[in-house]
Structure 1
Amino acid sequence: MRARADRHGRPRGREDLHRRFVHGRRAGGRRQAGRHGRGGGLHRALEQAHRAGDRRHRGGGLRQGGRARDRDLVPPVAPHRALRAAGARRDGDRVTAPVRPWDRELVRVGLFGAVFAVGLPTANGLGFVSDYYLNLFGKYLALAILALGMDLIWGYTGILSLGQAIFFGIGAYSIGMHMMLESSGKGVYGEPVPDFMIWNQVYALPLFWKPYTSAVFAIGSSLLLPALLATVIGVLTFRRRLRGTYFAILTQAIAFAVWLMLNRNEMKLGGTNGLTDFKSVLGFSLSSPGTLRALYVVTAAVLVGALLLAQAIVRSKTGLVLEAIRDNERRLEFLGYDTAGFKIFVFAVSAALAGLAGLLYAPQVGIITPSQVGVLPSLEIVIWVAFGGRGTLWGALVGAISVNWLRSVLTGTYPRLWPIILGGLFMAVILLFPAGLIGLAVRAKALVARRGRAVAPAAVAASGVNRHTA
């Protein structure tokens, strides 16, 4: 039987024919689309799946975060998106036991909790960390919960809310009112109402203050009232397809209106001075180092729980829908999804987290004023998330802690320059590293890995080792 010839009339050998029709390659090594599938033959596809499976068993698989040196090593048939979301792997033509995507994240959260919830209080008890710095970090962790909610709504859903400080203020004022009533009769005037009411000639407790004599009601309202208000705002806006810049302007206007209301003495919430002079919380004296240490531990534990809750949301099917809303909401609506319902849900969750942050923040600071509820605090929350890296959750924590630490350091020396420094920091994030600190870390890690892969072949060649026969 005569051998087949190529287009130049040269006869083809058996090796060339085997490579062409089985492996999908020509004699020169270039790949061509054969009858066994796009980009290669059946033998090559099985070899790819086998080699990819070997890498997974060695702990360097693509599903476990490993990095392939050749994109051809990716299995030719990728698992369905639902399987990938569940952590399943494909080894050749079968789906193996699912990889638990939570493992690595749980390790990170565990390390974070060990450092902040266990390590710092232990160091404080041993005298290595002062009570002042422990209390300072307690405030940072409470604000990190606030930033976490902002990252859920802005980083993952693409909704820019400039009124998150409203929900933070509701939580702070709710627990503040309870602490004021708990200290009633212990003030300067010895009356059963807060001292600032005596200054304003109010000698009877207002009706809306009376439920806050209960600690359960105060804590519950710190969570439920922000979520309820966010739900109402969401229904009135998202159901009417209000989005983008218009929603941001609306929330900013609401924040300004709330700030004006809280500054008025007629609201009976302390006016411009706010609520101050907290003496105890839940019966424990706030002047005791043990109480402050307990508040810190509770704040750190709640932050860990909030982080796990946020991770559960973004890793679920709901999280995929939220990211799709951020990327292309109109297309998602065309596919039949109720995007307004998902947006209302995540807005309410972020508001509840903001109220929880205010609940934990007020006892550690000892004061809550309208200046912590207005437009500027809402803008600062956006800067925290942008600086750390939005859409990562960890970036929100890093941004909130680092920016507020800078604020504590710089305001002691340059108090008037802090707004300018904060604005410059935001401009630097937008122009120089829009992915934030987390994005910089990821890019640095990728650069180091790329250089390592480039140096390895040169080192092998210099040593005279033939990698094909080794």
Structure 2
Amino acid sequence: MQARLFSRSAWIGIAVCALLAALLPILNLGFPDGHVLHISSYAVSLVGKFMCYALAALALDLVWGYTGILSLGHGVFFALGGYAHGMYLMRAIGRDGVYQSNLPDFMVFLDWKTYPWYWSMTDNFWYCMALVVLVPGVLAFVFGFFAFRSRIKGVYFSIITQAMTFAFMLLFFRNNTGFGGNNGFTDFKRILGYSVTAPSTKAVLYLVTLAFLIGALVLCRSIVKSKLGRVLQAVRDSESRLMFIGYNPLWFKLFVWTLSAVLCGIAGALYVPQVGIINPSEMSPANSIEMVIWAAVGGRGSLIGPIIGAFTVNGLKSWFTAAFPDLWLFALGLLFILVTLFMQKGILGLVQQLNARRQIGDVSTVSEETV
């Protein structure tokens, strides 16, 4: 008998959360400013950004929570997906830039005369969407193949993934690479002919992000509930025993690692038009570490937990950076320490423990009444 993806109560919870989330852009477009039911465009963009982060956290949980591969370099996959989409958005500006040139403003400023070869065909939306999947996926496959074949794992794997994202960040910071240098890509105008800043366009981007988040959750859940998922968890728990019974962990690890990178790249592609900028700082090792914190706070190895963690941590970040901007990093460090010491299964694990205690208490009460 095939295992259910989610329990009935979990499906109901997911449906309710998705419905409530989908209402935000509807309330933004359906009611004017000042109306009690109006949701600001800023709130829609903010929640849309959080959903992109949640998708990245979900992708990380697939390799860390279920396969035991701790990556400190997922920020590079997120940023590469963002740059692939950002290329199209920069080409879509046309001659509406400051310099009114067929080249993007940053290329005119840096005295570029023509597009570099890797920008070829990037004026085509679907070609760039293919790059969103292929660029992070190919990089992850090649990197993972050599790393996993060499049996690099544990803290050593984490260190080289962090080194990878740092190297890419330094490369993209250079002005002569053709990726905008320090400023990256910004000042987007249109996507598929529609204004990026129009409320209706933002609503569509928001709903597309929500659909991808739910779709990725179902996909990842179907994987971890399958025979493949059981092998991945065996890799996490005892890779040597798995090899002893005849499995080659290389291809299982490579599959889940590449899939995770692709999902992270899609998250980055959805992030860029909603935020309006992509630059090398998204490849910062600190951003990859934050993804780990989202998964840990929410509860790694649960898929839904990292989504909760991404919303919780980034919600706190938005509040702290507005109210106490100098204290956010201290608060983030304290949060991670407290979770590590007292909530090793994260927020979701804490809720499950409290629910289990409540059920035990109810059973004890019924037994006493029966006696």
TM range (shorter): over 0.9
Whether the 8 Å CA contact 1:139–1:365 is kept in 2: the answer is yes
Distance in 1, matches of 2:123 and 2:26, equals 34
From the two aligned structures, give the one with the greater helix fraction.
Answer: 2
Q: TM-score with structure 2 length normalisation?
A: 0.95
Q: What is the Cα deviation at residue 169 of structure 1?
A: 0.6
Distance in 2, matches of 1:406 and 1:384, equals 12
Deviations 1:45-93 (A, max 9, x none): xxxxxxxxxxxxxxxxxxxxxxxxxxxxxxxxxxxxxx5xx24xxxxxx
Amino acid at match of 2:170: L
Counterpart for residue 294 of structure 1 = 204
Relative distance call for 1:101 and 1:173 in structure 2 (3 A) is closer
After the TM superposition, which of the residue ranges 107-116 and 280-289 deviates more from structure 2?
107-116
Deviations 1:256-294 (A, max 9, x none): 100100111111111111111111112110121111011
Distance in 2, matches of 1:236 and 1:180, equals 34
Counterpart for residue 374 of structure 1 = 284
Deviations 1:110-160 (A, max 9, x none): 33322223x223332343222111111011111111111000000010000
Counterpart for residue 418 of structure 1 = 328
Q: What does 1:237-386 correspond to in 2, within 5 Å?
A: 237-386=147-296
Say whether 1:112 aligns with 2:22: no
Relative distance call for 1:260 and 1:191 in structure 2 (3 A) is same
Q: What is the Cα deviation at residue 417 of structure 1?
A: 1.8
Amino acid at match of 2:75: A
Relative distance call for 1:219 and 1:200 in structure 2 (3 A) is same
Deviations 1:87-111 (A, max 9, x none): 4xxxxxxxxxxxx555625444333
Deviations 1:358-384 (A, max 9, x none): 010000000011111120100000000
Counterpart for residue 195 of structure 1 = 105
Amino acid at match of 1:252: Q
After the TM superposition, which of the residue ranges 422-431 and 347-356 deviates more from structure 2?
422-431
Whether the 8 Å CA contact 1:389–1:437 is kept in 2: the answer is yes
Distance in 2, matches of 1:126 and 1:458, equals 55
SS at match of 1:211: coil
Distance in 2, matches of 1:343 and 1:109, equals 29
Counterpart for residue 124 of structure 1 = 28
SS at match of 1:212: coil
Whether the 8 Å CA contact 2:5–2:221 is kept in 1: the answer is no
Q: What does 1:67-216 correspond to in 2, within 5 Å?
A: 83=1, 86-87=2-3, 100=4, 102=6, 104=8, 105-117=10-22, 119-127=23-31, 128=37, 129-216=39-126
Gaps of 5+ in 1: 1-82, 88-99, 462-470
Amino acid at match of 2:173: N
Please give the root-mean-square deviation of Cα atoms over the aligned residues, in Å.
1.3
Counterpart for residue 34 of structure 1 = none
SS at match of 2:120: helix
Distance in 1, matches of 2:258 and 2:363, equals 46
Q: What does 1:24-103 correspond to in 2, within 5 Å?
A: 83=1, 86-87=2-3, 100=4, 102=6
Whether the 8 Å CA contact 1:171–1:356 is kept in 2: the answer is yes
Deviations 1:337-376 (A, max 9, x none): 1111100000001000000000100000000111111201
Distance in 2, matches of 1:417 and 1:211, equals 45
Equivalent of 1:392 in 281, 291, 302: 302
Q: What is the Cα deviation at residue 300 of structure 1?
A: 0.5
Counterpart for residue 63 of structure 1 = none
Q: What is the Cα deviation at residue 228 of structure 1?
A: 1.0
Structure of greater Rg? 1
Q: What is the Cα deviation at residue 239 of structure 1?
A: 1.1
Distance in 2, matches of 1:367 and 1:417, equals 25
Distance in 1, matches of 2:221 and 2:195, equals 35
Distance in 1, matches of 2:231 and 2:20, equals 33
SS at match of 2:220: helix
Distance in 2, matches of 1:121 and 1:366, equals 18
Distance in 2, matches of 1:332 and 1:166, equals 30
Gaps of 5+ in 2: 32-36
Distance in 1, matches of 2:305 and 2:192, equals 33
Whether the 8 Å CA contact 1:258–1:374 is kept in 2: the answer is no
Counterpart for residue 34 of structure 2 = none
Amino acid at match of 2:48: G
Distance in 2, matches of 1:423 and 1:233, equals 30
Whether the 8 Å CA contact 1:168–1:357 is kept in 2: the answer is yes
Distance in 2, matches of 1:227 and 1:154, equals 17
Distance in 1, matches of 2:17 and 2:369, equals 38
Q: What is the Cα deviation at residue 420 of structure 1?
A: 1.6
Deviations 1:371-398 (A, max 9, x none): 1112010000000000000000000110
Distance in 2, matches of 1:407 and 1:210, equals 38
Distance in 2, matches of 1:115 and 1:243, equals 41
